Amino acid sequence: MNFISTRGGERLAGVKAAIKGIPGDGGLFVPESFPVLSRGELESLLNMGYAERVAVITLKYFDELDYKELLSECEIAYSAFGEDAAQLVRIDDGVYMLELWRGPTCSYKDMSLALMPYLLRKSCENYGIDKQILVLAAASCDTAKSALEAFKDKNGFKVAAFYPSEGASKMQKLQLCAQEGENLNVTAVRGNYDQCRAAGRELILNRKFADELEKRNTVLISADSFNVFRIILQAVYYISAYLDLVSGGQIEIGEEIDFAIPAGNFGNAYSGYVAKRMGLPIRKLHCANNLNNVLTDFFTTGVYDMNREVSKTTSPSLDILNATDLERLLFEISGRNSALTALRMSSIKTDLKFEVTTAELSEIRRTFDGGSANEETSVEAMYDVFVDTGYVMDTLTGCAMKVVQDWYEKNKKDETKVVIVSTANPYKFPQDVLYAVTGNDVKDSFKGVKRLHAATAMAVPKCISALRDKPARFTKTVDPKKLSEEVLGFILN
Ligand SMILES: *Cc1c(COP(=O)(O)O)cnc(C)c1O
């Protein structure tokens, strides 16, 4: 399958689009079409485990891959996630959690990044690219951590990870600073999430930097959700959750359900949209924001307006104003009008703002619904669920929980079932989660872990407990302008 740029300038075979990352016109790649899963295909997927579902669906977009090999690589990658990589947990009548944090770093970013080393190596092989691959992760802390773990000490790869100095929980920082492995480098970028991502995107499009890498026989590949592999791999868990509801007798095949997603950059939510376009019976995708509710306002008014300050919250992956993956949806909603999409993206650059038409807005609202939680209401939602059911969730998922509660409060007769996409293990935010469920405040992250465990009896994942004894290896912070210098310094070493 080919992928095309949202701005009209490029069309590449899937794996080539994945290697390229960002099209030369500055847009984003989207699949040229969405393969629709027939009822028969959905039924045949019912009996498969997660790894097999990933292989079948991935092949639909990246048909150059060899199915048998892909399947065996999926089995290896997801075996590290325990019994079920995408576990569905019922927490109330018609409300389910899709726990996507059983991977090596405890965030849903592992769901896609775990398979990336294989996919990238294979793609380069297919095209005779015999170079060192430099994986760039300049995004949220969770992306950076997940990319580091996935590519750690893998032959032929180097990883340059950057994370926002002002966009991390203490535990997330500890995870990054203690990273092990010889082929990688971790640096904080002074500023917030938007600034870190923007610096990364600039670097990918920087010709001079590409020349420098060329001289060193190195090719740069983005681990961010710019990368189409990630988008497609993320669509799989929506499909898988649906299938599990059917197998569990919770819904009839064909019945529509909703999903609720803590939406930061909109990559995860866009993957849900991909699943819907593939024929998965999804009624609504509820996108949850925190105080940074640009997206919620957009879904309400049709105006995307970034003229505001970013607020720092306890759900840092949502502390974002520029949800860059929204460009992919805008492209679809405009009837794949690449000129219009490019125009809107340029007005975001110049005026920090754009607007869609009334018709487009109502088309968006047929599927998408936005809501936001603030620092108190997300905590209340987490507390309520814990007290009522004993279920513990992280702060990002807490925002989605609040949005779901609001929805059913407003739509009391709605019997559509909802799956909340749970994106992080609660122990990634031990102090904030402890505060939510007990009201206790502690300064130290590991004290938080201990008390959270005492209060909830939830198992502490190894990637968190093992951190205690690991020294901080990476403590450098650089200016957003210094990314290329930092990367070049690293790969010369
Ligand atoms: C990245 C991330 C999100 C937001 O996902 P987007 O694809 O950026 O919308 C939500 N929760 C966690 C834990 C994350 O790491």
Give per-residue pLDDT as tens, 376-423: 999 999 999 999 999 999 999 999 999 999 999 999 999 999 999 999
- Calculate how far, in angstroms, residue 215's C-alpha sits from the geometric centre of ligand 1: 35
Strands 303-305 and 353-355, by their bridges, are antiparallel
Q: How far apart are CA 93 and CA 77, in angstroms?
A: 33
- Calculate how far, in angstroms, residue 423's C-alpha sits from the geometric centre of ligand 1: 7
Q: How far apart are CA 172 and CA 142, in angstroms?
A: 7
Residue nearest to atom 8 of ligand 1 (CA): 265
Nearest atom within ligand 1 for CA of residue 320: 8
Give per-residue pLDDT as tens, 291-305: 999 999 999 999 999
- Calculate how far, in angstroms, residue 316's C-alpha sits from the geometric centre of ligand 1: 9
Contact 235, 282 (CB under 8 A): no
Q: How far apart are CA 290 and CA 174, in angstroms?
A: 24
Nearest atom within ligand 1 for CA of residue 424: 13
Give per-residue pLDDT as tens, 173-210: 999 999 999 999 999 999 999 999 999 989 988 999 99
Q: Of 258, 261, 283, give the one whose Cα is nearest residue 271.
A: 261
Strands 2-5 and 87-92, by their bridges, are unpaired
Following DSSP, what letter does each residue of 242-307 receive, concatenated?
HHHHHHTTSS-TT--EEEEEE-SSSHHHHHHHHHHHTT--EEEEEEEE-S--HHHHHHHHSEEE--
Task: For residue 460, give the amino acid letter.
Answer: V
Nearest atom within ligand 1 for CA of residue 262: 10
Both structure tokens of 394? 């992280």
Ligand 1 environment, Cβ below 6 A: 107, 109, 140, 142, 225, 262-269, 317, 396, 423-424
Pocket test for ligand 1, best of 28, 101, 108, 232 (most atoms within 8 A of CB): 108
Cα–Cα distances in angstroms (integers) from residue 346 to residues 25, 103, 184, 351, in the given order: 12, 37, 34, 8
pLDDT in tens, the chain (493 residues): 999 999 999 999 999 999 999 999 999 999 999 999 999 999 999 999 999 999 999 999 999 999 999 999 999 999 999 999 999 999 999 999 999 999 999 999 999 999 999 999 999 999 999 999 999 999 889 999 999 999 999 999 999 999 999 988 899 999 999 999 999 999 999 999 999 999 998 998 899 999 999 999 999 998 988 899 999 999 999 999 999 999 999 999 999 999 999 999 999 999 999 999 999 999 999 999 999 999 999 999 999 999 999 999 999 999 999 999 999 999 999 999 999 999 999 999 999 999 999 999 999 999 999 999 999 999 999 999 999 999 999 999 999 999 999 999 999 999 999 999 999 999 999 999 999 999 999 999 999 999 999 999 999 999 999 999 999 999 999 999 999 999 999 998 7
Nearest atom within ligand 1 for CA of residue 141: 15
- Collapsing DSSP to helix, strand or coil, 90 comes out as strand
Cα–Cα distances in angstroms (integers) from residue 149 to residues 115, 397, 419, 428, in the given order: 11, 23, 28, 16
Pocket test for ligand 1, best of 105, 140, 259, 322 (most atoms within 8 A of CB): 140
Contact 56, 42 (CB under 8 A): no
Task: For residue 372, give the amino acid letter.
Answer: S
Q: How far apart are CA 316 and CA 145, in angstroms?
A: 14
Q: How far apart are CA 5 and CA 313, in angstroms?
A: 34
Nearest atom within ligand 1 for CA of residue 270: 7
- Calculate how far, in angstroms, residue 265's C-alpha sits from the geometric centre of ligand 1: 7
Q: Of 112, 106, 395, give the one whose Cα is nearest residue 227.
A: 112
Q: How far apart are CA 451 and CA 430, in angstroms?
A: 9
Contacts of 380 by beta carbon, 8 Å cutoff, 6+ apart? 402
Q: How far apart are CA 34 and CA 208, in angstroms?
A: 36
- With tokens 């609001």, the residue in question is 406
If you ran DSSP here, which 8-state letter would residue 131 be given?
Answer: S
Residue nearest to atom 11 of ligand 1 (CA): 423
- With tokens 């990319």, the residue in question is 147
- Collapsing DSSP to helix, strand or coil, 178 comes out as coil
